[in-house]
Structure 1
């Protein structure tokens, strides 16, 4: 059991979500809810709704949703444990005592943060020494001056192997902390530790709460050593989930819902200085699934501005693949003349860089171009065949049929081939109709199309919203099990809720909205269908089932009418279609009678 569960339940009982949020977001009453200007995106007309009775909020503009704890985390930019501490201090409700292991882990982290901060101040001070003069001249030659050094907290690691220990690490315990952070290294345990960062420009990696968690060091001058070296993973630093410059760019990313990803620290600094403030860079490990999870909660669109060399192209390909799988819109920028983003930023203004972003290639166009390796309409037949083979190998692992169609269409365009022929070969069904069916026939689920929600999709989301707000409606579980959801969002929630139901977890709407394992965009899509009047009768819920069945039958009857209009049907085929149409109409009439009956009983 979550050791903080009793604390969370007490906070939900005793702390009014509207009174807490009203401290930061002015709210006014509108019906049962309170509304205000959303704090998570720019808007002029209030679309941020707080349901005090249900204990949750939802923005109909940016789809941000959650409970009181999620609001504290997102608005005050803290992690879950810190949100508990903030609410404990605000409410006067004590947190449960941490275990000895948790207390020890927190003490270790705090000690590491303190050492990292001391190291930062030491590196910054070094720039003003005689030994740091060469580093200052190098930075000035790259176009970085005093104000830049202050904003990005840039420093210098002195030449020599024993500077850090002499200045910072006075005890053996501190030496061990320095080793954990990668500031000190040992060749073996019988020898003294030595400075890891030597003769290097030091760029601190700072988390979203302003704490130094790691460093990236660039060699000064020519050397056989690596140009850049980075801190290793530690108790306070996970390179697969950390971005350089996110501390400065986080507000701009949330505001614009856009992010630019570059390869290195200089690239991020260059774009940020020119007003592209939503720029970040992964360090050491390249782009990972952990980075995707961080970004997708902050941005809807990501621009990749990688170096033009082979390594940069490979990194961009991997990043596009990971981001596209999570539904993030991705575009890839081509920098003219083979420059890197930093060099480009030195000679171009904000609007010119913005124009470069606007002209970026869609993800599908970039990836297919790289897969085909220059093969095009004028290539030899053998080269096209090899390109088609590479394309098919790339597409086979994809889960979504719609993604496959997008890439097949782009592949056909770049190769100068017929899409229908390419599709038939991919399916292994030569000679089939040239109109492909890319729908998952088992579930026939509808992907999300903003602004174009079908009646079936809306109905299914309303049923899920009713279920979340009224768990007693799980008495209809058997009926829901027989229902094949057409909407992938509703299907996800039903699977999730039914699993929790079988595990005897009675989750409130607020608790569900705070679950990190549920994609945030899914939460928003369902939360917008929550009702201010949370009570739903069994009859109302049953009526939704009937309405859903009617919608499906209406769609099928339209198909039957179109099929019957075909001129080449046999009499037997027409009779079969008429029989099915008659049966569907009869079922609709029965449902109408039953619906009137339960509505009368409810009144």
Structure 2
């Protein structure tokens, strides 16, 4: 039977939030590292159904049902495996590959990946043995001088790559296809111009990098020479290792993250290892790269609270700012972001070694929230005691607040900032009151990034175009009867004709989806229909798509009208502002959804 490639299935499994999928069907409550609820597969009064998001499985101790996210959806919805993969891929936003037969080629490909994993594990163990028991003890002494115990070194499987250029070639000389595999996983460099490939890592402390299942997929190497350049080198991108899709140490931290309900993100290998060695284990590292969307997804999948803890210098502050910009759109009412800034010139590794766990935890309690960091960052050159400074800050911060998709959270951010600046909340979101608004749901202004009207229909009257489509293709009426019945047209004559057409839908259907204008009730409606057909003389090649275009355009215009109504009342009735504020953002969110759908059809 055709099936999707195993690599794609694994990617879907990694990207989908098990807790979110199960939570749509089962009311879950946190209990230690587990989430518990009443089993959906048998009747029970005491919860025996457990979910372990960190391990990626569920288990009911009452009826014995258990498995991963695919098995849960197959059981709860009665889907086939391929149907389950397709549904979860849609949730994860992954395009579907072509279904493949379980051929010898597919099995060979999976066997090849397995051989790469096995080789990386052997290299990891080899480097670790050289570190702990090799003749050159300088790397082990270096790590001990950095405050690491042998237990920590064992836990992270740290290693040492000796100075030789052919160490790995000699070590795996008797292994079939070893040289090709070593180059495939980035451990040997072959530039194509030389007959002599060489080891990538030489005379460096080695940090094995693992995926979420704990499999070694790559390495980082640090020089022990204070003047050595570069200080760190990493494995290149390979079929197993994509730097922006991993967080260092996450596979070991998952249980602690579940227990603490929080994850601390640092930048480097040693930052993470030092924190863990001092008993702060709910942390992961970004592998020294700028935070990516995929890494953010890994964080939100495992925790609803994240603390960014980067170096206490300008580069660390820049990294924190980039993390804020990456995180802000994914914020929800139950997702929290904080920023821990260390003293100037120190990183997490240095700080905890010099000051200890207690001092670090004290700083952690004082980590600032997103709105505080935004305010601090954007007001560095402003005097907030002066009206001009307050106005400038509001102007700068407004685009960031607009990116928060959760209406309630956005409202609370606005209230927090307004309280800090001692100004009314409506001044934060819009600077003019009362009178017409500038921008969306007020006077239209299409420059400076203000949202435009929905794409039109070549200057034509959308309401008239819609009626022309229905009169020429009356079969569309029954197909879209519910949406048509809910429309509110501005032209009352057009609205009356639409109501008549919807009411005649059964009669039109019985007549084989045919409609004669003379069958409309009354000369007035017949005359209006003929005028519309004369004005809308173009016969559309794709009437179904054109009708959907009209419907969405009219829905957007209706949401705009409601938005204007809400905002006019809000600006003129200060007592009702807080109540109407939430409704305003709900309408904005609905408009954005409709615009996205509308524009995707345009393209």
Q: Same fold (TM over 0.5)?
A: yes
Give the C-alpha shift of residue 201 in structure 1. Answer: 0.7
1: distance between equivalents of 2:33 and 2:115? 36
Change (3 A) 1:130 1:113: closer
Does the aligned pair in 2 maintain the 1:391–1:411 contact within 8 Å? Answer: no
- The answer to whether structure 1 residue 281 and structure 2 residue 288 are counterparts is no
For these two proteins, the number of residue pairs brought into alignment is 403
5 Å-filtered alignment, 1:383-402, equals: 387-395=393-401, 399=405
Change (3 A) 1:422 1:256: closer
Match of 2:221 among 199, 217, 221: 217
State the secondary structure of the residue aligned to 2:192.
coil
Match of 2:323 in 1: 319
- 1:124-152 deviations in whole A, cap 9, x for unaligned? 12224666311122111110121111111
Match of 1:492 in 2: none
2: distance between equivalents of 1:62 and 1:108? 31
Change (3 A) 1:219 1:481: farther
Change (3 A) 1:358 1:182: same
Match of 2:68 in 1: 73
Give the C-alpha shift of residue 153 in structure 1. Answer: 0.7
Give the C-alpha shift of residue 352 in structure 1. Answer: 3.8
Give the C-alpha shift of residue 251 in structure 1. Answer: 1.2
Between stretches 165-174 and 102-111, larger displacement belongs to 165-174
5 Å-filtered alignment, 1:70-469, equals: 72-73=67-68, 98-128=102-132, 132-170=136-174, 173-327=177-331, 328-336=335-343, 338-378=345-385, 381=388, 387-395=393-401, 399=405, 405-406=411-412, 408-409=414-415, 419-425=425-431, 429-432=432-435
Does the aligned pair in 1 maintain the 2:398–2:429 contact within 8 Å? Answer: no
Does the aligned pair in 2 maintain the 1:38–1:59 contact within 8 Å? Answer: no
2: distance between equivalents of 1:348 and 1:479? 67
Does the aligned pair in 2 maintain the 1:408–1:423 contact within 8 Å? Answer: yes
- 1:249-270 deviations in whole A, cap 9, x for unaligned? 1111123331110101111111
Match of 1:51 among 32, 38, 41: 41
State the secondary structure of the residue aligned to 1:50.
coil
Change (3 A) 1:340 1:482: farther
Using structure 1 for the length normalisation, give the TM-score. 0.56
- 1:30-63 deviations in whole A, cap 9, x for unaligned? xxx99999778457xx634333499xx9979999
Match of 1:591 in 2: none
Q: CA RMSD in A?
A: 4.8
Does the aligned pair in 2 maintain the 1:183–1:231 contact within 8 Å? Answer: yes
Does the aligned pair in 2 maintain the 1:36–1:49 contact within 8 Å? Answer: no
State the secondary structure of the residue aligned to 2:177.
helix
1: distance between equivalents of 2:371 and 2:128? 44
State the secondary structure of the residue aligned to 2:218.
strand
Does the aligned pair in 1 maintain the 2:186–2:200 contact within 8 Å? Answer: yes
2: distance between equivalents of 1:219 and 1:366? 35
- 1:521-544 deviations in whole A, cap 9, x for unaligned? xxxxxxxxxxxxxxxxxxxxxxxx
- 1:338-388 deviations in whole A, cap 9, x for unaligned? 42111222244544433322221111211332233353424794x666545
1: distance between equivalents of 2:159 and 2:339? 32
Between stretches 311-320 and 171-180, larger displacement belongs to 171-180
Does the aligned pair in 1 maintain the 2:49–2:58 contact within 8 Å? Answer: no
Q: What stretches of structure 1 of length at least 5 have no aligned partner?
A: 6-32, 77-83, 85-95, 439-474, 485-558, 567-603
- 1:481-501 deviations in whole A, cap 9, x for unaligned? 9789xxxxxxxxxxxxxxxxx
State the secondary structure of the residue aligned to 1:248.
helix
State the secondary structure of the residue aligned to 2:219.
strand
Does the aligned pair in 2 maintain the 1:119–1:168 contact within 8 Å? Answer: no
Change (3 A) 1:63 1:108: closer
Give the C-alpha shift of residue 177 in structure 1. Answer: 1.4
Q: What stretches of structure 2 of length at least 5 have no aligned partner?
A: 6-24, 72-80, 82-99, 442-477, 488-565, 574-603
2: distance between equivalents of 1:186 and 1:360? 46
1: distance between equivalents of 2:277 and 2:418? 41
2: distance between equivalents of 1:390 and 1:237? 39
Larger of the two Rg values belongs to structure: 2
Match of 1:471 in 2: none
1: distance between equivalents of 2:177 and 2:43? 52
Change (3 A) 1:274 1:130: closer
1: distance between equivalents of 2:358 and 2:484? 54
Give the C-alpha shift of residue 301 in structure 1. Answer: 0.6
Give the C-alpha shift of residue 317 in structure 1. Answer: 1.9
Using structure 2 for the length normalisation, give the TM-score. 0.56
State the secondary structure of the residue aligned to 2:110.
helix
Change (3 A) 1:142 1:68: closer
Does the aligned pair in 1 maintain the 2:161–2:206 contact within 8 Å? Answer: yes
Task: Report 1 or 2 for greater relative contact order, CA contacts < 8 Å, sequence distance ≥ 6.
Answer: 1
- 1:533-572 deviations in whole A, cap 9, x for unaligned? xxxxxxxxxxxxxxxxxxxxxxxxxx9xx99xx9xxxxxx
